[in-house]
Amino acid sequence: MALAAVSSCGVFSAISGSSLATAASMARVALPEMRKHGYSASLATGTLAAGGTLGIMIPPSIALLLYALITEQSVDQMFIAAISPGLLGLLLYCVAIALTVLIKPDLAQPGEPTTIRQKVSGLKGIVPFGMIFAVIIGGIYGGIFTPTEASAFGAAGAFIIAVFRGMRWAGFRAAIEETLLLPSMICFMIIGAEIFGYFLSVSRISFSLAELVVSLDLGPYAVLLAVLALYMLLGCVMDSIAMLLLTVPVVFPVIAQAGFDPVWFGIVTVIAVEMGLITPPVGMNVFVIKSVAPDVPIGAIFKGVFPFVLSDIARLALLIAFPGLALAML
């Protein structure tokens, strides 16, 4: 069930493009079922908090779009380069779940066995998601419409599918209310993070840290590791969007001068920023899950995301060692 939940997060994030929206939406659907079937609170909430971070990498991605705008890179190339690292992240998250349950079997109860026919039959439910994903990504890559226009097509497609699946006025009204309530909660969290980020900007802490990295006169990979360490440090106290807005204009020239590919660096940067969404003390996804499950201690959620942080570190190491994982499809 945990594997299904994190995989569903990957599918949903391919449509929404937002980590916070993915975490909040999937937590409302999957968390009650996981806890009802005997999952520990830490594993259930940690899986969903980490699974939500896939929304920042699997295209279409708001963070990748923002990076492309700041650095004047092609949005299409950023999205294409993100596909393999995004799928790699999903795979490593599944490995993290499997190893966690293997080491501590009491964290989850075994589910009911199913036949191959039942598994294949269950895939029918994701066909509509696949259709919407194909329209969004195919339209962007084919130059039919912009990412903003693609979101409108995605919303329209989701509405049409819901109507054909039996949604009527009561369901439509409930969907609108839920849509208004959920982003309102998320927006207030982002507003607080942005205000905090602004105060950090005024204090010039982020600029001072970036200037310190430049002044050390290090080699290319030493500069890269220092920048990634900077992002992981800032991720503990800042929102991902605020981090990109404040630091990319400062560190990008340094990275370009070091000879790194700008598209590849964008992927690595977004993964590092993604880790900030689940690291203490200000992991935004963790607080989103906390708002959905107020009875779960915040410490238990951070404990649950620890294996996923390790898998993200492994993904960063693989991308640094093998840049082709991101650039091969360009």
pLDDT tens for the 330 residues of the chain, in order: 899 889 888 877 766 666 777 888 888 888 888 888 889 999 999 999 998 888 778 777 778 888 888 888 888 889 889 989 988 999 999 999 999 999 998 888 877 788 888 888 877 777 887 788 788 778 877 778 776 788 788 888 888 888 888 888 888 888 888 778 766 766 776 676 567 667 766 777 666 766 776 677 778 888 888 888 888 777 777 767 777 877 787 788 778 878 899 999 999 998 988 888 888 777 778 888 888 888 889 889 999 999 999 999 999 999 999 999 988 877
**pLDDT (0 to 100) of residue 22:** 80
DSSP secondary structure letter of residue 146: -
**pLDDT (0 to 100) of residue 194:** 64
In one-letter notation, the amino acid at residue 77 is: Q
pTM for this model (two decimals)? 0.78
In one-letter notation, the amino acid at residue 238 is: M
Quick one: which of 224, 234, 262 has its CA closest to 69? Answer: 262
Listed in sequence order, the residues at least 6 apart from 323 whose beta carbon sits closer than 8 Å to its beta carbon are 261, 264
Residues 47 and 8: beta-carbon distance below 8 Å:
no
- Tally the domains of the chain: 1
DSSP secondary structure letter of residue 53: G
Question: What domain range includes position 264?
Answer: 2-327
**pLDDT (0 to 100) of residue 83:** 87
- Tell whether the torsion through CA atoms of 6, 8, 14 and 18 is positive or negative: negative
258 exposure class (CB count in 10 Å sphere: 0-12, 13-18, 19+): middle
- Tokens 């937590």, residue located: 27
User: ∠ CA 168-169-172 to the nearest 5 degrees?
Assistant: 85
173 exposure class (CB count in 10 Å sphere: 0-12, 13-18, 19+): exposed
**pLDDT (0 to 100) of residue 282:** 72
